[in-house]
Amino acid sequence: MGENEECCGSVLLRTGFEKDAKEHMEKKIKNQKDKQIIVSCAGGFVIKH
pLDDT reported for residue 49: 47
Q: How many Cβ atoms are within 10 Å of 24's Cβ, its own excluded?
A: 19
Domain that holds residue 44: 10-48
pLDDT reported for residue 17: 92
Q: How many domains does the chain contain in total? A: 1
Query: Cα–Cα distance between 28 and 47 in angstroms, integer?
Result: 12
pLDDT reported for residue 15: 92
pLDDT reported for residue 21: 87
**Residue-wise pLDDT tens digits, 1-49:** 567 667 777 888 889 998 998 898 888 778 777 677 676 777 666 555 4
Q: How many angstroms separate the first and last alpha carbons of the chain?
A: 22
CB-based contact 35:13 (threshold 8 Å): no
Q: Do the domain assignments include residue 20?
A: yes
Query: Cα–Cα distance between 31 and 16 in angstroms, integer?
Result: 24
